Amino acid sequence: MIKAILIFNNHGKPRLIRFYQYFAEDMQQQIIRETFHLVSKRDDNVCNFLEGGSLIGGSDYKLIYRHYATLYFVFCVDSSESELGILDLIQVFVETLDKCFENVCELDLIFHMDKVHYILQEVVMGGMVLETNMNEITTQVDVQNRMEKSEGGLSAAPARAVSAVKNMNLPEIPRNINIGDINIKVPSLSPF
Amino acid sequence: MSPSVPLQEMIRAIRSARTQCEERGVIQRECAAIRAQFRQSDNGGRSHNLAKLLYVHMLGYPAHFGQMECVRMIASPRYSEKRVGYLGAMMLLDEKQDASLLITNSIKNDLSHSNQYVQSLALCTLACMGSAEMCRDLAPEIDRLLRASNSYIKKKAALCAVHIVRKVHDLGEMFAPAARSLLSEKNHGVLHGAVVLITEDTHIHTHILIFEIMKGLVISGYSPEHDVAGISDPFLQVRILRLLRILGHNNEAASDAMNDLLAQVATNTDSTKTVGNAVLYETVLTVLDIKSESGLRVLAVNILGRFLLNNDRNIRYIAMISLQKIVGTDHNAVQRHRGTIVDCLKDQDASVKRRALDLSLALVSASNIRSMMKELLIFLSSCPLELRSQAASGIFIAAERYAPSQRWHIDTILHVLTTAGGDVRDETVPNLIQLITNASELHCYTVHKLYRALLTDISQQSLVQVACWCIGEYGDLLLRGECQETEPVQVHEDDVLDALETVLQSHMSSPATRGFALTATMKLSTRITDNVDRIRSIVSIYGSCIDVELQQRAVEYNALFKKYDHMRYICFEYAGHCVLFRFRLSALLLCLFFPQVCDLLDLLGGSEETLQPSPAAGGTAPGLPANTASTAGGDLLDLLGGLEPFKLK
């Protein structure tokens, strides 16, 4: 079982924290600090598995981490998970983020923390691996995002207009106008 | 009241704060605004507020006032609000809080919602924080969803069922038929969930179907979407292998059936990439854990051996973990790789070193003790601090079990004490003293070595304690100067007393060490001839020491000098063999002075001491003819008033 997923940057600032076991708030912050302390000491060419974190749980738990540019992705797992499998899972998760955000960088994670959570919910659920197929994950996330946008109502109209313009692709449109059918149907206008 | 600021703007404001104090100010203002907004009944920006609250929570600020808002948002009909509400529930609520009971009804309604994404939100939340009561209430719903038509919902329901089974074990039976039928699904996500459910739920055993799936994957199932670098769905393969391991674990029939399949997976999987290694590794673990045939076991250990030589440290690390698991059962197979494992002790990576240490200690045997110990001692001198005490205690245990000779044993222990004396456990000192006492022919050698070690370094407390004890006990051998096993060196009484005095006065010595040194000084008074006055003066200084233990001891010794000089020899003949002497010696002296105090004998009752003088000490006590010892011994027994002589073994 995955006990916790932590993403923080090279200075220890948390970018995403998800605990699948209950910890009090101050305990959570302490765990983040301790994990950062353990992980930041590591050289880049040593192995990606760490033992010895005492706060998050004792001898059965390992920290499996990957360092990408400015971010550390740390999964805290117990012995029932395959270590190499989790390493691959981190890779899949990062590639999914890349697909969803288009060349993801740290700023995307900072400003869209809720979206990252929703993506993570499609990958890991209740501490267990749910889906590992990138296309499947991105499809589901897209559908859900569209559902949320369509509910926006009036207040979301400006945002929708902006995104519609962005999606418009102006150079393409003249080619698509079809004047083959000369019978243009005049719509019946209702009297005012 | 400021208008509700969307999430991004708040984040920008927090990030632009230059100091921690400014940041706290910004966050407090925002939290106040959010709290005010929560109190208002209906508000267009509710989801924004909760998202902001969750961000603030991630940074470590209190956010518990959002709990009721989460409950309200979950009940809202709008999808965007439900989404944030459920996320908030998963992050802020837990089963111990009362608010979590309030969402049970919402979850129940949402599980039968027409929109599958709402259903999935409810399933996700239940799987994360569902309490036992919630699980019991909602289990029938989950069972219904397991049979539903949509594969997206099915896979989530399967994992939710796993959570339920973990919380309430008996409900596993309810899910058994649905889980079995899930195994014939084509969707890999659903298969994955089904395998996890069957692994967790011991009520189901359907190994035949599992083989079909497994075979399909390896031989012909090339499904491009699930392909990770050329291997078809490694995650699913790994899960299935794990399940096979559980099924075959004490089951001959199942293990036999699996042999061919495992051999096939082991040979067909491409090991040049990490994903291939993950599957191979799982296969190896399965082979080693079930009752597989010997050819397959050899194949598995060979694969592990190949892993050990891999350049990738991750692979080496996990190879050592699995070797550790089988070192008890397949000891010879693992011994073949001892060289590589010992080399890993020198690796730069602390995790690899830790594994290599555990494995090396497990591989020590009577035949390789000398070479292994050499390597382990080299490791001890350069190992990271957190591994030191583990290494030291491991070395002691190994030395005790397989020591080829007593001299080697003592040398090893001394080496460890000099290198890592600060990290050894407390019972090392009495154990070592016991060992030295028993190795009677090595007393001379030992005391010379310890004296030399004491002169070089007095910071390692365990070493200093043992050295003081030895010098006190065998000081006469030290002063005699000759010894068969080391080069002779002339040691004068003054030098020895200087050394002991340095220990007594050094600020590095702990009170226990000072106690050892003082007693040793006192014992020397019976072994040396010229400097008894010097000893007397040292001892009397400590009569006014701040440390109560030392003071008591010094006062007693002074008393011995003044009033009971004739008893001095006896006390320090016999007392030499007290292992936990610090407290026993005082008790002994009190017995001498107050023979009526017989319950003090109980204190000495559990000890291992002998009262027979050691051959060395008895033979060379200066100026004391042998018969005085026995008559004085008679006096001692008389003083104890005819009670049972204690511990005359």
Query: Both ends of chain A: CA-CA distance in Å?
Result: 65
Please give the pLDDT value at position B627.
36
Could you tell me which chain A residue has the CA closest to the CA of B121? Answer: A121
Mean pLDDT of B93-113: 85
Among A60, A125, A154, most B C-beta atoms within 10 A, so best to mutate, is A125
Q: Give the single-character DSSP code of B580.
A: T
Q: Give every CB contact of residue A104 below 8 A, 6+ residues apart in sequence.
A: A94, A97, A98
Chain A residues lying within 8 Å of B12, measured CB to CB = 111
**Nearest chain A Cα distance for residue B127, angstroms:** 5
Whether B584 and B551 have beta carbons less than 8 Å apart is answered as no
Task: Give residue B299's pLDDT band: very low, low, confident or very high (50, 70, 90).
Answer: confident
pLDDT bracket for residue B536 (50, 70, 90):
confident
Q: What is the pLDDT of residues B31-42, one digit of tens each?
A: 998 888 888 866
Pairing assessment for the beta strands A71-77 and A62-68 based on DSSP bridges: antiparallel
Q: Does the CA dihedral A12-A13-A16-A20 come out positive or negative?
A: positive
Find out whether B364 and B398 touch, Cβ atoms under 8 Å: yes
Least CB-CB distance to A49: which of B44, B58, B317? Answer: B317
- How far apart are alpha carbons B239 and A82 in whole angstroms? 9
In Å, how far is B227's CA from the nearest CA of chain A?
8
CA angle A30–A34–A36, rounded 5-degree value: 115
* Total residue length of chain A: 192
Per-residue pLDDT, averaged over B126-147, amounts to 90
More confident residue, B424 or B621: B424
Q: What is the largest CA-CA distance in chain B?
A: 105
Residue of A34 and B564 predicted with greater confidence = A34
State the pLDDT confidence band at B582, using cuts at 50, 70 and 90. very low
User: Sign (positive/negative) of CA torsion B550, B555, B560, B562?
Assistant: positive
Residue of B84, B225, B282 lying closest to A133 (CB–CB): B225
CB B215 within 8 A of CB B242: no
State whether B79 and A148 contact (CB < 8 Å).
yes
Q: Which residues of A are less than 8 Å from B348 in CB distance?
A: 43, 46
Report the gap between the CA of B189 and the closest CA in chain A (Å): 6
Inform me whether the pLDDT recorded for B648 exceeds 50: no
pLDDT of residue B606: 36
Q: What mean pLDDT do residues B328-339 have?
A: 82
Asked if B354 and A144 come within 8 Å (Cβ–Cβ), the reply is no
Task: Tell me how close the Cα of B418 comes to any Cα of chain A, in angstroms.
Answer: 27
Q: Is the CB of A44 inside 8 Å of chain B's CB atoms?
A: no
Residue A14 pairs with which residues in a beta bridge?
Answer: A8
Average pLDDT over residues B533-555: 83
Whether B277 and A84 lie within 8 Å, measured CB to CB: yes
Element (H, E) at A17: strand A14-19
pLDDT at B602 over 50: no
Q: If DSSP codes are grouped into helix, strand and coil, which group holds residue A111?
A: helix
Least CA distance to A133: which residue of chain B? Answer: B226
What whole-number distance in Å separates Cα of residue B604 and Cα of residue B588?
8
Between the two ends of chain B, the Cα-to-Cα distance in Å is 89
Query: What local confidence, expressed as pLDDT, does residue B127 receive?
Result: 92
Residues of chain B with pLDDT > 70, as a percent, come to 80
Query: Cβ contact (<8 Å) for B234 and A85?
Result: yes
**Chain B residue with minimal CA distance to A155?**
B44
Number of helices (H), then strands (E), in chain B? 35, 2
Q: Do A125 and B159 make contact, defined as CB atoms within 8 angstroms?
A: yes
Q: Residue B150 has what pLDDT?
A: 85
Nearest to B313 by CA among B350, B339, B280, B276: B350
Contact B471, B464 (CB under 8 A): no
Contact call for B7 and A111, based on CB within 8 A: yes
Q: Smallest Cβ distance to B349: which of A46, A89, A110?
A: A46
Please report, as a single letter, which amino acid is at residue A132. Answer: T
Claim: this prediction has a pTM higher than 0.80: no
pLDDT value, residue B599:
43
| Residue numbers in A near B159 (CB within 8 A) | 125-126, 128, 130
Predicted local confidence at residue B463, as pLDDT: 84
Highest mean pLDDT among A51-60, B355-364, B481-490, B541-550: B355-364
- Chain mean pLDDT for chain B: 77
Residue B512 pLDDT > 80: yes
d(CA B318, nearest CA chain A) in Å: 8
Cross-strand pairs, A2: A77
Q: Where are the alpha helices (DSSP H) in B207-312?
A: 207-219, 234-248, 252-268, 274-289, 294-308
* Predicted pLDDT of residue B642: 37
Task: Count Cβ atoms below 10 Å from residue B269 Cβ, excluding itself.
Answer: 23
The residue among B372, B385, B462 whose CA lies nearest residue B416 is B462
pLDDT value, residue B212: 59
pLDDT, position B497: 83
> In 3-state terms, what secondary structure has residue B93?
coil
As a whole number, mean pLDDT of residues B454-481 equals: 82
Of B44, B87, B152, the CB nearest to A117: B87
Indicate if ipTM > 0.95: no
Structure tokens at A133: 């197929």
Mutation test of the interface with chain B: which of A7, A92, A123, A132, choosing the one with the most B Cβ atoms within 10 A? Answer: A132
Domain boundaries, chain B: 1-92
The stretches in chain A having pLDDT less than 70 are 52-58, 152-192
Q: Do A125 and B87 touch (CB under 8 A)?
A: no
CB within 8 Å: B354 and A47: no
Q: How far is residue B543's CA from residue B404's CA, in Å, rounded to a whole number?
A: 46
pLDDT band at B409 (very low <50, low <70, confident <90, very high): confident
Residue of A82, A130, A147 lying closest to B156 (CB–CB): A130
Look at B314 and A84 and tell me if their CB atoms are within 8 Å: yes
Nearest CB to A148 within list B58, B83, B351: B83
B58:A113 CB<8 A: yes
Residue with more model confidence, B361 or B543:
B361
Nearest C-alpha of chain B: how many angstroms from A80? 9
Contact flag A155-B225 (C-beta cutoff 8 Å): no
Domains detected in chain A:
2-153 (3.30.450.60)
What distance in Å separates the CA atoms of residue B113 and residue B75, rounded to the nearest whole number?
Answer: 12
| Cβ separation B196–A128 shorter than 8 A | yes
Partner-chain contact A92 B228, CB within 8 Å = yes
Q: What is the pLDDT of residue B481?
A: 67
The strand pairing partners of B227, in sequence order, are B232
* Residue in A43, A51, A136 closest to B189 by CB: A136
Q: Do B317 and A47 touch (CB under 8 A)?
A: yes
Disruptive mutation site among A130, A143, A149 for chain B (greatest number of B CBs within 10 Å) = A130
* pLDDT score at B595: 46
Q: Which of B220-224, B332-336, B392-396, B481-485 has the lowest mean pLDDT?
A: B220-224
Both structure tokens of B133:
């009561």
Chain A contact probe: residue of B8, B185, B317 with most A CBs at under 10 A: B317
Q: Which residues of A touch B152 (CB under 8 A)?
A: 140
Distance to chain B for A73, nearest Cα, Å: 16
Band (pLDDT 50/70/90 cuts) for residue B446 is confident
- Residue B584: its pLDDT value, please? 45
CB contact at 8 A, B121 and B82: yes
Say whether B58 and A14 touch across the interface (CB within 8 A). Answer: yes
Verify whether the Cβ–Cβ distance B234 to A87 is below 8 Å.
no
Q: Do B80 and A152 touch (CB under 8 A)?
A: yes
For the record, the structure tokens of B254 come out as 């199942």
What is the structure's pLDDT at B121?
92
pLDDT at residue B124, rounded to an integer: 93
Residue B489 one-letter amino acid: V
Binary contact (B159, A130; C-beta < 8 A): yes
Contact by Cβ (8 Å): B522, B572: yes
Do the Cβ atoms of B233 and A110 come within 8 Å?
Answer: no
pLDDT digits (tens, 9 = 90+) for A44-80: 878 888 876 666 666 778 899 999 989 999 999 988 8
Identify the residue with better confidence: A72 or B552: A72
Q: Quickly state the pLDDT bin for B448 (edges 50, 70, 90).
A: confident
Nearest residue of chain B to residue A141 (CA atoms): B117
More confident: B260 or A129: A129
